[in-house]
Structure 1
């Protein structure tokens, strides 16, 4: 396995699947001597980032019930 010029590596699919590492999973690195360990972050910010990006973006002044009725075709 090679490190790219940007310092990136590919985690093999079998390891990602075994650990439940989906795209955009937050990870942590730990250096122990001459080894580098990677693990899923204890606290994920994946959902938080999405909510922050979407917060305050709505331009529609409809209630949730009105939006649900429209979505359901009622």
Structure 2
């Protein structure tokens, strides 16, 4: 059982987040389904696709591929 906080928020238990592929930053919708509230993904992409989209370009870098390869080889 979960408690509603003063802001009207609930925490989805980790086991359920993992089972249904919810990850931090996901948008969700709360849907009234005949007197039952359902929490559903607001984005139809898979959890992996959402994660890749979120981190794409995050490295920002500035280093070229050759520079990175030299670092990994210890040159």
Place the TM-score, normalised by the shorter chain, in its bin.
0.5 to 0.7
Measured in 2, the distance between the counterparts of 1:49 and 1:7 equals 27
- Does the C-alpha gap of structure 1 residues 72 and 11 become closer, same or farther in structure 2, counting only changes over 3 Å? same
Q: Which runs of 5+ in 2 are unaligned?
A: none
Residue 9 of structure 1: CA displacement? 0.7
Taking structure 1 as the reference length, what is the TM-score of the superposition? 0.57
Root-mean-square deviation (CA, aligned residues, Å) is: 2.9
Aligned match of 1:34: 35
Runs of 4+ in 1 over 4 A off after TM superposition: none
Question: What is the aligned length?
Answer: 69
